[in-house]
Amino acid sequence: MRKLIVGLVALVLLALVVGIGALAYVRSGEQPREGMETVTGLRAPVEVIWTDHAVPHVFAGSLHDAVFAQGFLHARDRLWQMELVRRAIQGRLAEVLGEPALETDRFLRRVGLWDAARRDAAAMPPDDRALLQAYADGVNAALERWSGPLPPEFLVLGFEPEPWAPVHTIAVAKMLSLTLASYGQSLAVARALRRLPRDRARWLFPEFPDWDATILPPAPEIPPLARSLVDRYSFAAASNSWVVDGSRTASGRPILANDMHLELQAPSLWYMAGLHAPATDTFPALDAVGTTVAGAPLVVAGRNRAIAWGYTNAYVDDVDLFIERVDPADSTRYLTPDGSRPFEVRAETLSVKGREAPVVM
């Protein structure tokens, strides 16, 4: 019994030592927020000041350097988040997550957002391309200068991130568009119409009523009970924003409140930051503070010295779904109003961790 107890204590101590060592090793990869660094790609010195709430403020000599530094900071703080979104849009999660992610890859390749991102990247105006390239250069500078181990997700899965490119930023925007689109609701309506008459299905998906509140012209007051019933049985939800006039605030200045109803996640979708750069011949002065998205430059919602701005999801009918009907006489063709046409076919190759051979769609 004594030997057993001694053995168990030794195992517990060994586990503690290994755990503390592993934790210390992972923590050693945390990138510094103080000191001076020399980074290739900047056109002039950039200063980053962190607030007590860990919000970085970037003071740069140009818009190029401001978004370069923003990419640098995003990569240091949100590298795994950026990598996960990029791989999801590309349909390449199974490469690192294995078999459980294969169906997700299949779905996202069918949706084709990565193809759409590449088409948009090829059609970008020169100024937009230069802006996204400066951001990508900042991300890649952070990867090149990384000290210590990568974030723990990379260590567990055993791979390193690839360089960032402007098309990856467009892919991040595509993912945000997909999460805000009425894709799931359109499918739910289609399923309901298969089982219910059209007039009954409409009760499940009420349209925005004519008598409900609007932020444009004055609208009549809605009885509280009526509003609560509509909210309780409405399928849709939405973001909201409102403004308090300066005559009703202690400071005498207006206040904008903006609540974008996105799902909670860790880390958050948003990355708070301030970007500051003087005006140039090409761009006006940049002096914005607010929410940014890891993987994309500039401020999404926030304020500058003149205005504050926010976003709400409009819940418009922004998704069109088409059911292709296979030609009964030839499964390689589909029916259209103009007759039968051949399917266009291309092969998609999906690598799967743990499989010797890739899967071909």
Residues carrying an active site annotation: 239
Give just the sign of the alpha carbon dihedral 176, 178, 182, 187: negative
Q: How many Cβ atoms sit within 10 Å of the Cβ of residue 111? A: 15
Q: Are 67 and 134 in contact (CB under 8 A)?
A: yes
3-state secondary structure of 222: coil
**Neighbouring residues of 87: CB distance < 8 A, sequence distance ≥ 6:** 93, 95, 96
Exposed / middle / buried, residue 70 (Cβ in 10 Å: 0-12, 13-18, 19+): buried
> What is 242-286 written as a DSSP string?
EEE-GGGSSSSS-EEEEE------SS-SEEEEEEEE---SSS--E
Angle at 248 between CA 243 and CA 251, to 5 degrees: 95
**Neighbouring residues of 343: CB distance < 8 A, sequence distance ≥ 6:** 332, 333, 334
